[in-house]
Chain A
Amino acid sequence: MSAFICAALALIPLFAVLIYVFIQGAARLGPDLFTQLPPPPLVKGGGFGNAFMGTLLMVGIAALISIPFGVLAAIFLAEFARDTKLSDAVDFCTNVLSGVPSIVIGVFAYSIVVLTTGTFSAVAGGVALAVLMLPTIVKTATEALESVPTEFRQASVGLGATRFQTVAGVVLPAALSAIVTGVMLAVARAAGETAPLIFTALFNQYWPRGIWEPTASLAVLVFNFAIVPYKNQQQLAWAAALVLVLMVLIASILARWVTRKR
């Protein structure tokens, strides 16, 4: 019974958050949100098109960096170095990296990109998100590759394939759906990350003009508009929060569905 109460206590905040975000966010949901710019204080209407675009842009940059990086590292861990000291050590580093506070990763991206280029930019934000996504991608891709049956590899090698051909032609395609799932989860989470973007991408009231410019994002918009006293901007913050939560929700459900099918 007491265990039951614990489970209920744990789930109450989840439902409280989800329901509140849905109710508050749905009030403003509509096409305008994605085609218009955030309004100045006391002006009605508007949307967060620039922030949505900015989030896509930065998550895209992050994905371009961390997907190849993570998948190649996972191939080494799962195919060429399984159960060795080296893979153990890299595995350890991956776990530790996933525990590094996102704000510290933001500071890191600031010092290598913003300080070097002299400007806040989408690239700096993308680099920060890439570092954040990396451990998730390495971990899920390694698991996906390891769950491919050994017989596949033996059959491929038996037919005369090289190790490269085996990995690229047999093992990777077999693990692809699970890898895509992991990537999707990493992307959805990166889209909601705020702390490392506040001082790498900063914010921008206008449409993105290039990857070397300060760039708006949904997450930072939520933060900025949550603490202003203007009703319209607060509503936009809730709508942006809803979009972020929906991304995570859809990615998680799809991930569930893919893993169940296997």
Chain B
Amino acid sequence: MSWQRSATSRLVDKGFIWLTGVFAIGVAVVLAAIALQVGQQAFPAMQQFGLGFIIGTRWDPVQNIYGAWPQIYGTIVTSVLALLLAVPIGVGVALFLSEDFLPPRIQRPIVFLVELLAAIPSVVYGLWGIFVLIPILTPVGNWIHQTLGFIPIFSTAPSGPGIYVAGFILAIMILPIIAAISRDALVAVPPELRQGAYGLGATRWETIFQVILPTAISGIVGGIMLALGRAMGETMAVTMVIGNSNRVTGSIFDSGSTVSALLANQFAEAGGLQISALMYAALLLFGLTLIVNILAELLVRSVRLKV
């Protein structure tokens, strides 16, 4: 019968579907390959140092003793600092861009600009951080140190690069993610809720704080976690402004390091067990960001499904 396709064209069809399927699954395979490959390379260091690697504070390529606590500490502190600065502003921007404060003609370019903020290469932020941000922040930091120096986190005088500069730059870099995802979550709040609140006599701010924000909270938290994942893995800007010193001090004005900065600084010149130790550090970073990202993805998804 003529409407039946020839064997070749059916074969081409089947082959094509298979081929595309293989590449689709390939995306998952790449993710698995990263974990396996880095894990395998890290194995010698894992055997040698075990979990002591996480709490060890010595990083000594000459003696081949490696511990990454100063870097892990720096990663956590800079990320938390960045979130403290960026979350209120990011959620504020999202509210501003979702609650019809502005006519769309002005709103759309602002959304575009915030997106652009996310697209500027990290190394450019680093360059700007060195030549612009550090000179601006140093006197501010000095003033804080002089007036509030009795508080441990302000206990040293800033000397240019430092943990707080890294936190500041990270805050700028993760702000667009928080703003964009929070905005999605806010826009997804059903209009009936809003109308209901207004109908009961709530003011605009009462509606926002007691109805809209609580409804959108899981999406917003998801966005914040995605931003946290980004902040933990961010490398160039941080490496350029944090000072790269291998120690743990309580003061945010001191110089420090992060896991990603350690990798950026040492990988190219490393050899032997040091490579393996760096791979171990990369694996820890990968694991941490993976957990944060998967939780974030699940939270953001739960919002999308409700819509």
114-155 of chain B: CB within 8 A of chain A: 114-117, 119-128, 130-132
132-161 of chain A: CB within 8 A of chain B: 134-135, 138, 160
B124:A17 contact, CB within 8 angstroms: yes
What range describes how many residues of B lie at the interface?
A: 35 or more
B96:A6 contact, CB within 8 angstroms: yes
A163:B116 contact, CB within 8 angstroms: no
**A174 in the interface (beta carbon within 8 A):** no
Q: A99-B226, A101-B234, A108-B37 are in contact. Are A9 and B89 (CB under 8 A)?
A: yes
Mask for A236-262, Cβ within 8 A of B = 1, else 0? 011001001100110010001000000
Q: A95-B297, A100-B289 are in contact. Are A219 and B121 (CB under 8 A)?
A: yes
A245:B12 contact, CB within 8 angstroms: no
From residue B7, how far is it (CB to closest CB) to chain A in Å? Answer: 12
Mask for A1-24, Cβ within 8 A of B = 1, else 0? 011111101110110111011001
Residue of A nearest to B5 (CB): A162
From residue B92, how far is it (CB to closest CB) to chain A in Å? Answer: 3
A111:B27 contact, CB within 8 angstroms: no
In whole angstroms, what is the CA distance A9 to B92 when docked?
Answer: 10
The main secondary structure of chain A at its interface with chain B is helix
Residue of A nearest to B292 (CB): A99
Q: Which A residues touch B95, using CB under 8 A? A: 3, 6
**B160 in the interface (beta carbon within 8 A):** no
**A93 in the interface (beta carbon within 8 A):** yes
Segment among A45-53, A194-202, A205-213 that sits at the interface with chain B: A194-202
Mask for A55-86, Cβ within 8 A of B = 1, else 0? 00000000000001110110111011100001
The main secondary structure of chain B at its interface with chain A is helix
**B267 in the interface (beta carbon within 8 A):** yes
In whole angstroms, what is the CA distance A138 to B30 when docked?
Answer: 13
Q: A134-B27, A219-B123, A244-B124 are in contact. Are A105 and B92 (CB under 8 A)?
A: no
**B193 in the interface (beta carbon within 8 A):** no
A248:B16 contact, CB within 8 angstroms: no
B120:A17 contact, CB within 8 angstroms: yes
Report 17 cross-chain contacts, Cβ distance below 8 Å, ordered by A residue. Answer: A10-B90, A14-B116, A68-B23, A73-B26, A73-B27, A96-B294, A99-B233, A102-B233, A103-B260, A106-B263, A108-B34, A112-B33, A164-B13, A198-B267, A198-B268, A219-B236, A226-B127
User: Which A positions have Cβ atoms within 8 angstroms of B?
Assistant: 2-7, 9-11, 13-14, 16-18, 20-21, 24, 68-70, 72-73, 75-77, 79-81, 86-87, 89-90, 92-97, 99-108, 110-112, 115, 120, 131, 134-135, 138, 160, 162-164, 167, 185, 188-189, 191-195, 198-199, 202, 219, 222-223, 226-227, 234, 237-238, 241, 244-245, 248-249, 252, 256
